[in-house]
């Protein structure tokens, strides 16, 4: 009688642990996936904010450096690609292009002292530098979140539940490394 | 060539260590209670004990739920303005993005010395406060390193953690005190245990609160190391925090006025010990700056 009771309790405890594990892993995967989605939209917000600043920048530059049409066209095109991109991942790639094009504009400003001294231009330069930092940090957090998710999916016993819920590893956000390597603009 | 430290390993190592330290404090508490139960008769003694535990817990709960308000008020900090303190706001926003934590409220306190602290019971109620000295003397990367360290305190729920250990240490002290006092009042007939047991009990009751206090200080130092490592995870740039610490190290001893400005109880939450005595030992809330710099150099 007592033995039956003990066996019953042990079985109940094991079943309870298994049920808790099922719920825990299900919730964990959802939470981590939401975090990934959310951090991606954080990047998106910054990318859009950057695209919004571009027309203003072009207008300012035009006033001082009319002849540099090639570079300005590059920026305008990159912005168009970014705005037309269908998903965030495409936008991130286009954003990297835009960043490169913007870099050439700021390099070009070195030849136009008046432009360099323009207050509007300086402010835009600062703002764009700030946004660049934010994109870099948001991207880092996105990849950190992917790492955490992938660890959960791949490591025992999570991999068992990942299979069950058909959760697969996700890919990191890859962007040409040079962008991260650019020294942050000091101001 | 020194082996390179990964911040992930450092974070988890430090977490495990502080977990064990908490276990040690709890064990002290239980052991002390057990010894007392062996020696003394449960009577009026336990009623007093429960009473004082309730008082100390409600006191701690109050300060826990108002942690950030008390902190701001006690250093007389002012809310920072997003337009005027742009560099500070950018640094905090960057670190909030890198850590995935909500943007904390940002405060500035007047002090020529480089320092900063974080408070709030959870990330939603978090605040970060930096000194005017830090804003003047630190470069952008260094400021980000300092903010990242503070964000780590928030991310690691250090206010909650330190409150918990403070409660435990307090309980150990109360228990020990009550035991020692009860010995005066109880007659020999009341006691179950023998003479040796009582002497052991007295020794333990004297040692336990001190030991618990030392353990809690060890935890505090451990949390500082953890916050350094987590901070590096956020900035991915160890030299930032390292250079900030080097600048802090080069500062003079705090003046009497400065000492008054910092409430003693808040010391564990500052990035560097505001009382900064040259001697670093088991009674310090912070590990030595040199040691922290050395670890950051290896990351």
Q: Could you report the per-residue pLDDT of B121-170, keeping only the tens digit for each?
A: 888 889 999 999 999 999 999 999 999 999 999 888 887 777 777 777 77
Mean pLDDT of the residues in chain B: 79
Per-residue pLDDT averaged across A69-73, rounded?
A: 82
Q: Smallest Cα–Cα separation from B68: which of B166, B158, B167?
A: B158
Measured between beta carbons, the chain B residues lying within 8 angstroms of A34 are none
Predicted local distance difference test score (pLDDT) of residue A12: 93
CA distance to partner chain A, nearest, from residue B102 (Å): 12
Contacts 24+ apart (CB under 8 A), A36-43: A36/A142, A36/A145, A36/A146, A36/A149, A36/A170, A39/A138, A39/A141, A39/A142, A39/A145, A39/B100, A40/A88, A40/A142, A41/A88, A42/A138, A42/A141, A42/A142, A42/B97, A43/A88, A43/A92, A43/A135, A43/A138, A43/A139, A43/A142, A43/A173
Given an 8 Å threshold on Cβ–Cβ distance, is B98 in contact with A35? no
A35–B236 CB contact, under 8 Å: no
Q: Superfamily for B77-157+222-297?
A: Metalloproteases ("zincins"), catalytic domain (3.30.2010.10)
Chain B segment 75-114 residues within 8 A of A by beta carbon are 90, 93-95, 97-100
Contacts of A130 in chain B (CB under 8 A): 90
d(CA A10, CA A116): 76
Which residue out of B10, B68, B142, B150 is catalytically annotated?
A: B150
φ, ψ dihedrals at B154, nearest 5°: -70, -50
Which pLDDT score is estimated for A180?
47
- Is residue B244 within 8 Å of B25, Cβ to Cβ? no
Q: How distant is the Cα of B64 from the closest Cα of chain A, in angstroms?
A: 28
Rounded Cα distance between A41 and A43, Å, is 5
Residue in B94, B140, B141 nearest the CB of A137: B94
Task: Specify the higher pLDDT residue, A61 or B96.
Answer: B96
Q: What is the pLDDT of residues B265-279, one digit of tens each?
A: 666 667 777 766 555
Cβ separation B90–A145 shorter than 8 A:
no
Q: What percent of chain B has pLDDT over 90?
A: 23
Q: How much is the average pLDDT of B78-101?
A: 91
Residue A66 has pLDDT above 90, yes or no: no
| Residue A23 reports pLDDT greater than 80 | yes
Mean of the pLDDT values across residues A102-119?
Answer: 85
Judged by a CB distance cut-off of 8 A, whether residue A150 touches chain B is no
What is the structure's pLDDT at B260? 67
The answer to whether B150 is a known catalytic residue is: yes
Return the top range by mean pLDDT from A51-65, B56-70, B75-89, B244-258: B75-89
Architecture of domain A2-181: Up-down Bundle (1.20)
With CA atoms as reference, the chain B residue closest to A141 would be B98
**Which residue from B minimizes the CA distance to A139?**
B98
Please give the mean pLDDT across all residues of chain A.
84
Contacts of A138 in chain B (CB under 8 A): 97-98
- Indicate which of A32, A35, A42, A137 best probes the interface with B, i.e. most B CBs within 10 Å of its own CB: A137
The distance of A27 to chain B (nearest Cα, Å) reads 19
- Among B12, B93, B96, B98, most A C-beta atoms within 10 A, so best to mutate, is B98
The pLDDT value given to residue B5? 59
Tell me the shortest Cα–Cα distance from B236 to chain A, in angstroms: 9
In angstroms, the CA B224 to CA B122 distance is 18
B173-191, pLDDT tens digit by residue? 877 877 777 776 665 555 5
Contact across the interface for A134 and B93, Cβ inside 8 Å: yes
Phi, psi of B128 (to 5 degrees): -125, 135
pTM (predicted TM-score):
0.80
Bridge partners for B270 per DSSP: B117
Position B181 scores a pLDDT of 76
CB contact residues (below 8 A), chain B span 216-235, against chain A: 233-234
Cα of A51 to nearest chain B Cα, Å: 19
Mutation target vs B (from A38, A46, A127, A133; most B CBs, 10 A cutoff): A133
pLDDT of res. B61 = 74
Confidence band of B261 (pLDDT split at 50, 70, 90): low
CB pairs under 8 A between A and B: 28
Residue with tokens 């390099």: A107
Residue A79 pLDDT greater than 50, yes or no: yes
Q: Do B94 and A133 touch (CB under 8 A)?
A: yes
Outline which parts of chain B fall under CATH 3.30.2010.10. Answer: 77-157+222-297
Query: Cα separation of B224 and B230, whole Å?
Result: 10
A118 close contact with B: CB closer than 8 A = no
Residue A184 is predicted with a pLDDT of 44
- Reply yes or no on whether the pLDDT at A170 is more than 60: yes
CA distance B250 to B243: 11
Asked whether the beta carbons of A43 and A135 are under 8 A apart, the reply is yes
Q: Is A42 on the interface with B (CB under 8 A)?
A: yes
Separation CA B119–CA B127 (nearest Å): 5
Name the least confident of A15-29, A121-135, B20-34: B20-34
Average pLDDT over every residue of A45-54: 88
- Between positions 127 and 146 of A, the ones with CB within 8 A of B are 130, 133-134, 137-138, 140-141, 144-145
């Amino acid at each position: 009688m007592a033995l039956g009771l003990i066996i019953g309790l042990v079985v109940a405890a094991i079943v309870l642990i298994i049920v808790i594990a099922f719920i825990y892993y299900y919730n964990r995967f959802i939470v981590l996936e939401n975090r990934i989605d959310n951090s991606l939209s954080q990047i998106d917000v910054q990318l859009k904010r950057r695209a919004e600043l571009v027309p203003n920048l072009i207008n300012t530059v035009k006033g001082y450096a009319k002849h540099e049409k090639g570079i300005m066209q590059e920026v305008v095109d990159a912005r168009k690609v970014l705005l037309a991109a269908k998903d965030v991942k495409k936008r991130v790639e286009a954003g990297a292009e835009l960043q490169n094009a913007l870099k050439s504009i700021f390099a070009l400003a070195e030849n136009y002292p008046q432009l360099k001294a323009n207050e509007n231009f300086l402010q835009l330069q600062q703002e764009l530098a700030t946004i660049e930092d934010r994109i870099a940090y948001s991207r880092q957090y996105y990849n950190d979140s992917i790492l955490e998710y992938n660890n959960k999916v791949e490591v025992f016993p999570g991999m068992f539940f990942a299979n069950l819920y058909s959760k697969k590893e996700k890919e990191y956000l890859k962007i040409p490394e040079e962008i991260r390597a650019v020294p942050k603009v000091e101001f | 060539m020194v082996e390179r430290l990964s911040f992930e390993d450092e974070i988890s190592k430090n977490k495990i260590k502080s977990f064990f330290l908490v276990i040690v404090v709890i064990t002290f508490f239980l052991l002390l209670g057990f010894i007392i139960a062996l020696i003394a008769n449960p009577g009026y003694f336990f009623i007093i004990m429960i009473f004082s535990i309730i008082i100390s817990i409600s006191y701690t709960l109050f300060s826990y739920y108002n942690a950030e308000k008390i902190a701001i008020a006690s250093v007389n900090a002012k809310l920072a303005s997003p337009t005027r303190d742009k560099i500070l706001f950018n640094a905090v926003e960057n670190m909030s993005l890198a850590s995935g934590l909500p943007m904390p409220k940002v405060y500035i306190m007047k002090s020529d010395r480089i320092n900063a602290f974080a408070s709030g019971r959870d990330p939603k109620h978090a605040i970060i406060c930096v000194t005017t000295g830090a804003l003047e003397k630190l470069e952008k990367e260094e400021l980000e390193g300092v903010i990242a360290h503070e964000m780590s305190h928030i991310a690691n729920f250090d206010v909650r953690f330190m409150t918990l250990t403070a409660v435990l240490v307090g309980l150990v002290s109360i228990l020990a005190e009550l035991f020692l006092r009860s010995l005066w009042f109880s007659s020999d007939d009341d006691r179950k245990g023998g003479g040796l047991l009582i002497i052991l009990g007295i020794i333990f009751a004297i040692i336990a609160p001190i030991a618990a206090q030392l353990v809690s200080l060890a935890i505090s130092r451990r949390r500082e190391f953890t916050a350094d490592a987590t901070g590096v995870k956020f900035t991915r740039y160890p030299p930032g925090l390292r250079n900030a610490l080097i600048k802090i190290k080069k500062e003079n001893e705090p003046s009497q006025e400065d000492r008054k400005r910092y409430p003693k109880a808040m010391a564990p939450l500052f990035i560097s010990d505001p009382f900064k005595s040259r001697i670093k030992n088991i009674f310090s809330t912070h590990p030595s700056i040199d040691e922290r710099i050395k670890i950051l150099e290896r990351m």
